[in-house]
């Protein structure tokens, strides 16, 4: 249904695409080396909610991204070394992850 494109440095959800718009065939070298592309069964309209910035309880900007995926948990062991080498392509993660595997960063005020 949806692809989450996560920053290879920290697993933050940067953007998302529908199955129709993103495929193995049209994924560029940059998309495979700068992002970890993870499939999910979350509908695209709900997946878009995972790419919002984080604000504290006073409405002050805290962090550019607030939702993350633990890349060590989803990238197969044989490809984890590619996370550090941003020239190597990380294969698309076609095993769908559940919403529970996307975690929210907490601010100092507990949000």
pLDDT digits (tens, 9 = 90+) for 31-75: 999 999 999 999 999 999 998 777 778 888 777 778 999 999 999
Predicted pLDDT of residue 111: 47
> What rounded mean pLDDT belongs to the chain?
88
Which residues lie below 8 Å from residue 33, measured CB to CB, with a gap of 6+? 8, 82, 86, 87, 88, 89, 90
Q: Is residue 76 part of a domain?
A: yes
Considering the domain boundaries, does residue 25 fall inside one?
A: yes
User: Does residue 110 lie in a domain region?
Assistant: no
Model pTM? 0.86
The lowest-confidence range among 2-11, 42-51, 54-63, 100-109 is 100-109
Q: Could you tell me whether strands 102-104 and 67-69 are parallel, antiparallel, or unpaired per DSSP bridges?
A: antiparallel
Residue 111 lies in a domain: no
Domain total for the chain?
1
The answer to whether residue 109 is domain-embedded is: no
Say if 13 falls within a structural domain.
yes
Q: Give the structural domain span for 20.
A: 2-104
38 token code pair: 């993870």
């Amino acid at each position: 249904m949806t692809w989450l494109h996560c920053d290879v440095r920290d697993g933050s959800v940067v953007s998302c695409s529908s199955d129709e718009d993103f495929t193995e065939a049209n994924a560029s070298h940059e998309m495979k080396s700068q992002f970890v592309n993870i499939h999910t069964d979350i509908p695209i309209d709900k997946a878009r909610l995972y790419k919002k910035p984080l604000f504290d309880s006073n409405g002050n900007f805290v962090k550019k991204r607030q939702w993350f995926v633990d890349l060590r948990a989803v990238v197969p062991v044989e490809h984890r070394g590619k996370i550090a080498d941003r020239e190597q392509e990380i294969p698309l993660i076609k095993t769908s992850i559940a919403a529970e595997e996307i975690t929210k960063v907490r601010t100092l005020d507990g949000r």
